[in-house]
Amino acid sequence: MNDEGVAIALLKRHLSRVIGDAENRKYHMLACSNANVAKILELRYAEEALALFGYNREKQSRGFVFVADEKRLLQSLEQMRSFVSVLDCDQNSVILKLDRSLSLVNPEKASREHFLNSHLPASFYTFKTPSQAEHLVETSIENLREERKHVDPLLNNVQFPFSFIRVETSNSNRWQGVFYAEDDIEFVIRELSKVTSIAANRISLQYKCGGETLKRNISLKKIGAIPGAYLFANC
């Protein structure tokens, strides 16, 4: 099991214990100094998930801890069960990187079609009901983007905190990574500059090859790159 798999297993174990004994106060505090908690927090969505279930980050004399609001915790148990049940239910999901850097895609899986037919894991979204989660992980990026355009009722109240980006450069290399929805094009360009050694001021991004250049200060959310987008780099 890789590091991400270990972290997911630890998060699932903790949430399962809470579900089984929600009023037990030993599950209401998570110390960031604890090795297992530190591993969980390496998951880029972990803090958002904990906040969703009523855990607030606080600084105490012994360091930072996550303390649960008991009322919110008890109210979110059904949502927590849903989250646990689908956290890793899609075995063919795209493997999410745990930081906002870009990695080179295996040429065998680098085509635009392969990207658009990818399915993202439930951990990619913030959802409120199991049916929403099941629908999301069973829907390809391309189809999900189309459904969002038509405001599919199943997507009501679903938040899309992350953007899965693949960038094709002029030498036909494809780079991909996971970014926050609020990250801007400039941030993606800087990350592309790091991995290609091309100066950031020489890079521009487009939705279509030869299309209109995307403004650097606009967020991925505002250009509609949620939950994923295939972009072209002009270097």
Residue 196: inside a domain: yes
pLDDT at 198: 95
Residue 119: inside a domain: no
Average pLDDT over residues 79-84: 78
- Output the 3-class SS for the chain: CCHHHHHHHHHHHHHHHHHHCCCCHHHCEEECCCHHHHHHCCCCCHHHHHHHCCEEEEEECCEEEEEECHHHHHHCHHHHHHHHHHCCCCCCCCCCCCCCCCEECCHHHCCHHHHHCCECCHHHCECCCHHHHHHHHCCEHHHHHHHHHCCCHHHCCCECCEEEEEEECCCCCEEEEEEECCCEHHHHHHHHHHHHCCCHHHCEEECCCCCCECCCCCECCCCCCCCEEEEEEEC
Residue 169: inside a domain: yes
Question: Which of 88, 123, 149 is the endpoint of a domain?
Answer: 88
Residue 56: inside a domain: yes
Residue 26: inside a domain: yes
User: Could you list the residue range(s) of the whole structural domain that residue 71 is in?
Assistant: 3-88
Q: What is the pLDDT of residues 17-59, one digit of tens each?
A: 999 999 999 999 999 999 999 988 887 667 877 888 889 989 8
Task: Output 25 or 150, whichever has higher pLDDT.
Answer: 25
Task: Output 155 or 73, whichever has higher pLDDT.
Answer: 73
Residue 182: inside a domain: yes
Q: What is the CATH number of the domain that holds 80?
A: 1.20.58.2190
Residue 99: inside a domain: no
Confidence band for 204, pLDDT divided at 50, 70 and 90:
very high
Looking at the 3D structure of the chain, how many domains does it have?
2
Residues above pLDDT 70, as percent of the chain: 83
Task: Output 183 or 155, whichever has higher pLDDT.
Answer: 183
pLDDT at 138: 80
Confidence band for 173, pLDDT divided at 50, 70 and 90:
very high
